[in-house]
Each structure stands twice: as structure tokens, then as C-alpha cells.
Amino acid sequence: MGKGQELYKKAKTLIPGGTSLLSKRPEQLLPENWPAYYSKSKGCHVWDLDGREYIDCGLMGVGTNTLGYAREEVDEAVMKVVRDGNLTTFNCPEEVYLAEKILQNNPWAGGVRYTRGGGEANSMCIRIARAYSGKDKVAICGYHGWHDWYVSVNLGESDALAGHLLPGIPTNGVPRELRGTAIPFHYNDFEEIENIIRNTPDLAAVKMEVCRNFGPAEGYLEHIRNLCNEYGVILIFDECTSGFRETYFGLHKKYGVYPDMTIYSKTMGNGYVIAAVIGKKEIMDAAQGSWISSTFWTDRIGPTAALAALDVMEKTKSWEFITKQGLKNKENWQKLADKYGLKINQWGIPALAGYTFDSPNALAYKTYVTQEMLKKGYIAGTLMYTCLAHTDEILEDYYQALDPIFAKIRDFEDGEDVMKALDGPVCQAGFKRLN
């Protein structure tokens, strides 16, 4: 057992769940054998506490580092403001410079508010939308964080989770009085969202991811936009995850449908904590009539990192490169599946794509992929967030490493026992997304 596994055993006695982020828990990846902790990182390389080096062809900081780990231009900008002082009685000028940058690239919007992360940003935009509209209910599609307003969607049945769109998200601690305030709808179902908007007079907002596992049907986003205009409902696009991966800023630019509010986070600071809620001026001004305030939303590191990261993105056109590499991943995963007669289902936009084996043993196969790739020096399961450091050479070596693993999965499909090939338990399944 390595130092990381030993430290994680200790962590579980001190931190409920071992770590605060579900997708970083070893049980979600490779139970008992995941290195768990890193000592340093650079580009797409990560070193564990025992000094072993890995190539990250997996989560890349849970989707935060499209420029690669420890990008020099971003780190240097951050280190300068750290030396100059991060938080004082005065406000940092960078928050103004960043707001200018954001609004220049989102001309439909007229105001910006900052938070530290995506969950806070999602809650803030709902508070503002409710304050502006004077209405309470929200129609939702996609993943929008952990706060009560959102998780309350799973209060819709007496057994909480059964038959709902987000199985696996528990509702313990969420006031049952919130039942019915968040109304879920299915992506690309024209009739469902139309019925919700037309028949919910106290609907403040429609909140959705532009796309996640697959793209919009022809006319779908336009349909929602028109309905929101007709009924005076605020349309919010959650771009925490999709932002900066196919376009410079929001994915909505690709489809030419513009919201009333949107949220950026994850990649905006390339690993440094920053999120932004933006919207039309009259809507954002409603934030002044609600209690929305937090000390660390005014720190200097986040806006500074975002300004530097946005500059690198613009100069490198990072979204074009990571999309190209992501498409290459999807092509090669399918080639490997076809080579060995395996059925896989692919999902996600290219720069955050993944695949699932079409088999009752899919979760065991995912565990096996993670296990065997780790032995070969890769942090890799069945999804990959691409970054600028994922060169053609790195990806070609990755595909070669994956080839014999797919060949072995063919053996499992033909009757060999996959459980005997695992060095530990099967990984846990995460919650399912709305779309």
C-alpha cells in the first residue's frame, strides 16, 4: 500500500467521506488502489506521494484545467498578487477588469457577480431570478450543484428518488417544504417543457445545461427561448462545465441562442477558484434588492487567474485544440471497440467525452480499465477531459496502452470472469445526469 492509500485511510477518520468532492473519492475510481493524493503536477503529468509519475488522461482536476496543470502564465500572475497581498479592506481592481472582459465577450449581458465555485453561482443566479421575477418555481434540466433549491427535485416522491431524473442524489437535510419548487424536465422533449412553462404561472426561470451528453434537437433551444419570451420566464444557461470547451466563453454561442443569465466556472481560472454569474442588466440589478454577499467572493487570486487564463485561451484558441483532440479520442475509442467486437455508448461534447461498455458488467469493466491503465502509468477510466497538454504523441501512446485492455474485455465478454482480474472491489456508480 502506497503513501496515498495510507493517508486516505486516515482521511476517512477525520473527513466524512474522506474528501469533500464525490468524484475524487477512490471508491468512485479504483477502490483500495487509487493513489488518492498528489505531490506535484505539470501539463497533463501528475506525481503521487511515492514519487510515481502518471499521465492524466482522465478527469484533469475534474474538468478545471483545459490549459494543463501549472500553466506558467496563470501561475506567474497568481504568484505576483499573492506576494502583493490577496485580500484587503479595499477591493481588487482585477474584478473590474475581469467584468469588462466577460461583458465584452457576452454583449447580450449587462452585469457580473462573482462567487468561488459553480454550486454557489447556481444558487446565486436562482436567488437573483426569483428576486427579479417575484416568482418562486424553477424548471431544471441538467446538473446544477448541491444546494437545497436544486436537490429538492428529488423530493417529488414519497420514496424521494424512485422514478426521478437524478437517482443517486440523496435528499437528507433538504427541507421537505421545498417539494415542488424545482420542476425537472427531460432534454429535447419539446412538449414537456412547453407544458411546464404554459401551466406554471409562478415559474421564475428555466435553468438548463446547453448540452451535456448529447446536443439539442433542431429548434429545441429556440423553442425554449421563444416560450420564455412569451411567458416572461428567465432563461438561464448553466455553462459551468461547458464553457470554454467548444467556444470562447459559452457553448450557447455555437447554437446562436442567448439566455437571460448564464454561469461560468470550472475552466475559467484553470484550476484557481472563480465563478461568475452574468445576465441582462435589469435582471442582475435585482441582486441589490436581495441579500447576496460573501467575504471571499472579493479575493484577488480568482479574478487574476481568470484574466490570465482567458488571455492564454484567446492566444492559443484552446477550445479548438481540445475539441480536435476530443474528437480524436471518440474516433479511437470506437475503433478499439470495433476491433474487438465490443459495444460502447459514447457521450459528451468532444472535450469532455466518455464511453460506457454496453454490458451488464459495465461498471466492472470501467474498474478494470482504470486499474490496468494505472499500472501503465495513466490516470484514465472511461472518460477524458482534454487539455492543451494532450499532444498527438501522448494520445497515440494512450490508445496503444488501451488496446490490450479492450482485448481482455473481449475475453470477459466471451465468458472469462472479470471479477478474478480485479485487484479490489468494483468502483461505485456515480449519479446519473438528466441528459
Q: What is the pLDDT of residues 251-284, one digit of tens each?
A: 999 999 999 999 999 999 999 999 999 999 999 9
Would you give the DSSP letter of residue 43? B
**Same-domain check for residues 328 and 294:** no
Domain boundary among 316, 351, 374: 316
**Same-domain check for residues 207 and 79:** yes
Residue type, 375: K
pLDDT band at 431 (very low <50, low <70, confident <90, very high): low
pLDDT of residue 154: 84
pLDDT of residue 171: 85
**Same-domain check for residues 61 and 149:** no
What is the gyration radius of the CA atoms in the chain, in angstroms? 22
Domain boundary among 271, 286, 316: 316
Residue 331 lies in a domain: yes
Q: What angle do CA 37, 40, 42 make, to 5 degrees?
A: 125
Residue that has been written with the C-alpha cell 416560450 in this structure: 227
- Structural domain total, the chain: 2
Per the structure, the complete domain to which residue 338 belongs is given by: 3-70+317-421
What's the mean pLDDT in 287-291?
95
Residue 427 lies in a domain: no
**Over the stretch 81-119, which tens digit does the pLDDT of each residue have?**
999 999 999 999 999 999 999 999 999 999 999 999 999
pLDDT of residue 378: 98
**Same-domain check for residues 37 and 16:** yes
**Same-domain check for residues 88 and 170:** yes
pLDDT band at 159 (very low <50, low <70, confident <90, very high): very low
CATH code of 219's domain: 3.40.640.10
**Same-domain check for residues 81 and 213:** yes
**Same-domain check for residues 358 and 294:** no
Residue 435 lies in a domain: no
Residue 426 lies in a domain: no
**Same-domain check for residues 295 and 251:** yes
**Same-domain check for residues 137 and 45:** no
CATH code of 377's domain: 3.90.1150.10
Please name the residue ranges forming H helices in 276-317: 281-284, 301-316
List Cα–Cα distances, 266 to 77, 285, 385, in angstroms.
Answer: 18, 25, 12
Handedness of CA 399, 248, 238, 290 (dihedral sign): positive
pLDDT band at 122 (very low <50, low <70, confident <90, very high): very high
**Same-domain check for residues 165 and 289:** yes
**Same-domain check for residues 411 and 309:** no
**Same-domain check for residues 60 and 150:** no
Residue type, 57: C
CA 275 to centroid of chain Cα atoms: 13
- pLDDT > 90 fraction of the chain, expressed in percent and rounded: 91
